[in-house]
Chains A and B, each alone.
Chain A
Amino acid sequence: TQLLEQSPQFLSIQEGENLTVYCNSSSVFSSLQWYRQEPGEGPVLLVTVVTGGEVKKLKRLTFQFGDARKDSSLHITAAQPGDTGLYLCAGARFGNEKLTFGTGTRLTIIP
């Protein structure tokens, strides 16, 4: 059983559209991170959220941590081809230094 489920698994949209990716769990996390991975590379950290209800913005990307610290979302406004990649959420549980990764969302932005 995967601890962190991401949806959708695949998403292909036109340049300029908006999209939201979800990361859900039945477990509580002390912090949650979002990464983007491009082919042939390792994941690169985009953001870390640590407080329930927290919202962080990174240019056109908005990240939200659920109030109960069990879920998170990533919203991209006016998607661009450079946003194409595999998006991964990853959570750390209280008292455990192990980072658990989500199932991933493969995003393709069509020019």
Chain B
Amino acid sequence: KAGVTQTPRYLIKTRGQQVTLSCSPISGHRSVSWYQQTPGQGLQFLFEYFSETQRNKGNFPGRFSGRQFSNSRSEMNVSTLELGDSALYLCASSSQGARTEAFFGQGTRLTVV
């Protein structure tokens, strides 16, 4: 069974640009969650999608958005990038959500310069 795939692995952007990250969950999983990981703040929850609907949202500004497609693949978008957006962005897939095992991808390392 293929694992969670995140693309790209590394990304360098300049301030003010926007970026789109992609996550392909494990086949059959309908829940996809996104997290931001930084040395200072740890793993912070961004949002969760289940069957194409955003089910939960963390405390991030509106510049952070996401969506989920009918095949459960998910994308997250960050607009008007700031230096503080530099982080490892992790995607986790699970069959039902937080109460079931979450499988993480390797993450996308975003650097904003």
Q: Are the C-beta atoms of B42 and A103 separated by less than 8 Å?
A: yes
Determine chain B's interface SS by DSSP, over half rule.
strand
- In Å, the complex CA distance between A40 and B37 comes to 12
Which residues of A are found within 8 Å of B33, using beta-carbon distances?
A: 98-99
| Count of chain B residues near A, Cβ 8 A | 26
Q: Please judge, given known A-B contacts A48-B101, A96-B98, whether A101 and B45 are in contact too, CB under 8 Å.
A: yes
- In Å, the complex CA distance between A90 and B99 comes to 11
Which residues of A are found within 8 Å of B43, using beta-carbon distances?
A: 43, 88, 90, 101, 104
Q: Are the C-beta atoms of A100 and B56 separated by less than 8 Å?
A: no
Q: Please judge, given known A-B contacts A88-B43, A102-B42, whether A97 and B102 are in contact too, CB under 8 Å.
A: no
A-B contact count (CB 8 A): 61
| Residue B15 CB within 8 A of the other chain | no
A92 closest partner in B (C-beta): B98
In the complex, 21 of the A-B residue pairs with CB atoms within 8 angstroms, ordered by the A residue number, are A30-B99, A31-B98, A31-B99, A41-B106, A42-B105, A42-B107, A43-B43, A45-B101, A88-B42, A92-B99, A96-B56, A97-B55, A97-B97, A97-B98, A98-B58, A99-B33, A101-B42, A101-B45, A102-B42, A103-B42, A104-B42
Interface residues of B (CB under 8 A from A): 4, 31, 33, 35, 42-45, 48, 50, 55-56, 58, 90, 92, 96-99, 101-107
Instruction: Give the 10 A-B CB pairs with smallest separation, nearest first.
Output: A42-B104, A97-B97, A92-B98, A101-B43, A99-B98, A98-B56, A97-B98, A43-B104, A42-B90, A103-B42
Interface residues of A (CB under 8 A from B): 2, 30-31, 33, 40-45, 48, 88, 90, 92, 96-104
